[in-house]
Amino acid sequence: MGDILELIQSRRTIKYFLPKFVSWENVAKVIDAGRHAPSCGNVQNWKFIVILEPESKQVLAAACYEQYEIVSAGVLIVVCNELEKAERYYGLRGEKLYSIQNCAAAIENMLLEAHSLGLGTRWVGSFDEEEVRSQLKIPEEVRPQAIIALGYPKEIPPRPPKYPLETVVYFHRWRNKLRDPAKYMNDIATILARKASAATKSIQDSTRFIVDKVKKKADSVPTNPVSPDTED
Ligand SMILES: Cc1cc2nc3c(=O)[nH]c(=O)nc-3n(C[C@H](O)[C@H](O)[C@H](O)COP(=O)(O)O)c2cc1C
């Protein structure tokens, strides 16, 4: 199975969308990715409301504190959290934590599937929850957790800064870092790859050095002022 890291790293939050139709086939694939996410006890406490009509998108964009750029996205998908499903089995932790984590896992799956299909997304979390609930007739016990704007990107923004790996990883306890985790974990593959890369760099440096030397030597040899082809 392939490593999806490149896909994860290249996904971006899209600000502007082309006013282009997104097929149901693609929308269905994106939602399918969401419903296959892990969830506590496999409770699958989610529902997805698909918004296609421009007027409804306009109303939702207004409820998202005027994020009107999402209106041009082909589809808006409102991810709804049925918290009581998680609460039933896991009490307060299920309601307040797991239910949200489950939906967040579904959302991230959806963003990645969309990206793999050449579509762009914006995860919108900033909205007036009561306004969205009343517009979409979502019952009291269900929480609209996020709105995913899905469409064809007008432009791909540059990657925002992400904290380097070594700054976000501790070993064994809070704040404890390892100088060389690969060495500590006896990760032969990483150590060999590192050595191979150092050897490649050293060969490249030596080659460059030799080429420069040969060039300098060639430049210092005086050129024959009379070309052998020239006839006087
Ligand atoms: C919980 C959550 C809420 C977010 N809400 C919004 C939002 O309301 N509007 C928006 O434009 N982006 C929103 N984003 C997207 C973030 O701004 C974006 O992920 C972040 O800037 C990093 O950029 P990247 O996704 O391209 O890596 C949200 C992301 C998350 C996870």
- 3-33: b (≥16 Cβ within 10 Å) or e: eeeeeeeebbebbebeeeebeeebbebbbeb
Q: Which atom of ligand 1 is found nearest the CA of 127?
A: 8
Answer whether 160 contacts ligand 1 (Cβ < 6 A).
yes
Atom 9 of ligand 1, nearest CA residue: 124
| pLDDT of 4 higher than 60 | yes
- Cα dist. 72→15, 39, 108, 122 in Å? 10, 32, 21, 12
Q: Are 71 and 57 in contact (CB under 8 A)?
A: yes
| DSSP conformational letter for 13 | B
CA–centroid distance, 109 to ligand 1, in Å, is: 15
Q: Which residues contact 62 (CB under 8 A, 6 or more apart)?
A: 68
Predicted TM-score of the model (pTM):
0.87
- State the residue for tokens 């990657």: 159
Rounded CA-CA distance 79/144 in Å is 6
What pLDDT does residue 190 have? Answer: 87
How far apart (Å, rounded) are the C-alpha atoms in residues 229 and 111? 68
Spell 88-102 as b/e; 16+ CB within 10 A means b. Answer: eebeeebbeebbbeb
Residue 109 CB neighbour total at 10 angstroms: 19
User: Smallest Cα–Cα separation from 177: which of 189, 185, 186, 168?
Assistant: 168
Closest CA to 77 of 104, 55, 110: 110
Res 226: pLDDT: 56
Sign of CA dihedral 50, 52, 119, 9: negative
Give the chain's mean pLDDT: 95
Mean pLDDT of 153-182: 97
Please tell me the distance between residue 125's alpha carbon and the centre of ligand 1 in angstroms: 7
Q: Give the confidence band of 227 by pLDDT, cuts at 50, 70, 90.
A: low
Distance CA 105, CA 128 (A): 22
Question: Is any atom of ligand 1 closer than 6 Å to the C-beta of 38?
Answer: no
Give the residue, by CA position, lying nearest to ligand 1 atom 3: 125
pLDDT at 189: 86
Our answer on whether the CB atom of 126 is closer than 6 Å to any ligand 1 atom is: yes
pLDDT in tens, 49-99: 999 999 999 999 999 999 999 999 999 999 999 999 999 999 999 999 999
Cα 165 to ligand 1 centre (Å): 20
